[in-house]
Amino acid sequence: AQKITQTQPGMFVQEKEAVTLDCTYDTSDPSYGLFWYKQPSSGEMIFLIYQGSYDQQNATEGRYSLNFQKARKSANLVISASQLGDSAMYFCAMTAAGNKLTFGGGTRVLVKP
Amino acid sequence: DGGITQSPKYLFRKEGQNVTLSCEQNLNHDAMYWYRQDPGQGLRLIYYSQIVNDFQKGDIAEGYSVSREKKESFPLTVTSAQKNPTAFYLCASSVHGIAGEQYFGPGTRLTVT
């Protein structure tokens, strides 16, 4: 079985500062994928970034980077230079061994001007 | 533009009525999914289909039914057997089956009174 844990229910960040969202995972399969999605108040889920378990380097997509620490089973999302439009719910998710995508409980981010 | 459409955005029904939520995609994806999201929580998988005329139960399939007669369409019926149908429903699709990156529709918010 696979499990995703997001321990931060909500957090504030000052505009233009960086923020780190925590995500830990658990799986016994050596091959897995980790995803981060953003959900604004409108409800749609927006894919942000992907990290494969065999990827040697941390994934980056614009202002988003994934701090992948395999030994600690963590996949934290770092948002640099926060913008007001970054205020949203953020979900970490994983899939392993062709199994379904499992989501964490989410972290709500509120960017303050 | 390619994407996933869900209609309507908001849906209201009386208790005891079946209701069907629409999901259409023009991305030519083989796999499609239905998720349920309750307030302040993550997504839970209801049903998924990796190919036309085939589908599997997810984690919370009781009280729901689906069909996959066409590649681009995956309607979800919320039956009267579903004890707590009021929720936000998200449809998704992916290219490479259940382990791949999923693209989401805008969601349907169902309220049953």
- Using CB atoms, pick whichever of B33, B88, B103 lies closest to residue A47: B103
Distance from CA of B21 to the nearest CA of A (A): 16
CA distance B19 to chain A (A): 21
Interchain proximity A44–B43, CB inside 8 Å: no
Q: Contact B104/A45, CB-based, under 8 Å?
A: yes
> Does position A109 have pLDDT exceeding 80, yes or no?
yes
pLDDT score, position A73: 96
- Residue B95: what pLDDT? 83
| Banded pLDDT at B101 (limits 50, 70, 90) | confident
Residue B52's pLDDT band (cuts 50, 70, 90): very high
* Per-residue pLDDT at A97 exceeds 70: yes
Of B33, B48, B107, the CB nearest to A43: B107
Least confident of A26-40, A42-56, B86-100: B86-100
Residue pairs spanning A and B at CB distance below 8 A: 53
Q: Do B99 and A44 touch (CB under 8 A)?
A: no
Q: Confidence band (pLDDT; 50, 70, 90) for A89?
A: very high
* Residue from A4, A5, A44, A66 to probe the interface with B (highest B Cβ count within 10 Å): A44
pLDDT at A9 over 70: yes
Q: Is the model's pLDDT at B98 over the cut of 70?
A: no
Mean pLDDT value across residues B20-43: 93
Predicted pLDDT at B1: 63
The C-alpha atoms of residue B33 and residue B13 are separated, in whole angstroms, by 23
Q: Does residue B45 sit at the A interface (CB-CB below 8 Å)?
A: yes
pLDDT classification of A2: cutoffs 50, 70, 90: confident
DSSP string for residues in chain A = --EEE---SEEEEETTS-EEE--EEE-S-S-EEEEEEEE-TT---EEEEEEETT-SS--EETTEEEEEETTTTEEEEEE-S--GGG-EEEEEEEEETTPPPEE---EEEEEE-
For residue B97, pLDDT over 70 is answered with no
- In order of A18, A62, A92, the CA distances from A81 in angstroms are 5, 11, 20
Instruction: Tell me what pLDDT residue B40 has.
Output: 84
Average of pLDDT values for B7-30? 93
pLDDT at B104 over 80: yes
Among B97, B104, B109, beta carbon nearest to A44: B104
pLDDT band at B99 (very low <50, low <70, confident <90, very high): low
Look over chain B and give the mean of its residue pLDDT values, rounded to a whole number: 92
Chain B partners within 8 Å of A104 (Cβ): 42
pLDDT at A98 over 80: no
Which residues of chain B from 49 to 108 reach within 8 Å of chain A, CB to CB?
58, 88, 90, 92, 97-107
